[in-house]
Every structure is written in structure tokens, then in C-alpha cells.
Amino acid sequence: MALAENLAPIPETNTQYLELLQLVERLHRQLLDVVKDELDRDSMDNLNSVQALLLFNIGDQELTAGELRTRGHYLGSNVSYNLKKLVDAGYIRHERSAVDRRAVKVSLTESGNAVRAKLSALFDRQGASLGAVGGVDDGNLPAVNTALTRVERFWADHIRFRM
């Protein structure tokens, strides 16, 4: 008998897990909306929220498209499309890797760093008001982060070990 067949879901746990799945999905969409709103305030209509978060996550690093995906900085299969758009718009510079001529390393330009600074300021403002405005106690965040990290590891193991 397979392992999965031996594990009957606990009804309350299953209900809570399904709620978690919906919440994670909504939170991601909401984050994209918050970033888009911040871009709209400065009339930055040549940049979408996914691209802005990509700039934020690249930061001061020099990475390849593959590294962006494996490090979790980018969600999606069209990273090359967004990187090309960012290069064309002047937010990212790219150059061939000296080690592997097939790989292209990307880093932020001055314009890209300006977007990164804008998002950093946004997240700093939000972090400072999370308790007072959002009602989220600083003491709760470590437990939330630990739980979400464990869910992330569970999903990675699910794929890796074909659970």
C-alpha cells in the first residue's frame, strides 16, 4: 500500500490547508496589485509589477536567468521575455558570462536601481505600519515565516520525491 493511501487527511487540517492555499494565491495577487499601484503613482507605465519585483530581487547581484528562477526570485516560465523587456527599457544591463559564453549575466542599471529603491521604500513603509495599521504583531511574524518556509519545503519535497 502506498504511503499516501496510509495517510487519511484530518478534516480540520485539510480545511485549514485549503484555506492556506487560497490565501497564498490571493496574497501573491495582492502583492502584485500593491506594487502596480506604487508604479502608477509615479506614472511608470512601461513597467509591470512582475518586472518591478524582478528588479527588486536582483538588487546589487549579477545573475543569470536560471539563477533568478532557482533562487526563487522569479515565478514563471517567461523570465527571458521579462528580462528582454527590462533590457530594452534600460532597467537592466546584460553581458555574456566570461566562464560560460552561453550564459548571460544581468544586473541593474541606474534606472533599475531607482525602481529597486522605490520598492524598498514602499516595503519599509509597510513594515513600519504593519502592526499599527495592519494589526499584525511583530511577535507573530517569525512563526508565520517559519510555517510558510515549512510549507515551501514540503512542496519542494513533494516534487523532488514525487510524494
Percent of the chain with pLDDT over 90: 67
Window from 39-43, 62-66, 92-96, 148-152 with minimum mean pLDDT = 62-66
Could you read off the pLDDT of 17-56 as tens digits, one per residue? 999 999 999 999 999 999 999 999 999 999 999 999 999 9
The helix/strand/coil state of 6 is helix
The pTM (predicted TM-score) of the whole model is 0.85
**Residues 22-27: contacts with CB under 8 Å, at least 24 apart:** 24/148, 24/151
Are β-strands 92-96 and 104-108 bridged in parallel, bridged antiparallel, or unpaired? Answer: antiparallel
- Mean pLDDT, the chain, as a whole number? 89
Q: Does pLDDT of 142 surpass 70?
A: yes
Q: In angstroms, rounded to a whole number, what is the distance separating the alpha carbons of residues 28 and 33?
A: 9
Q: How confident is the model at residue 76, as a pLDDT?
A: 63
- The most confident of the ranges 11-15, 62-66, 114-118 is 114-118
pLDDT, average across residues 12-17: 90
Is the domain covering 48-122 a CATH 1.10.10.10 domain?
Answer: yes
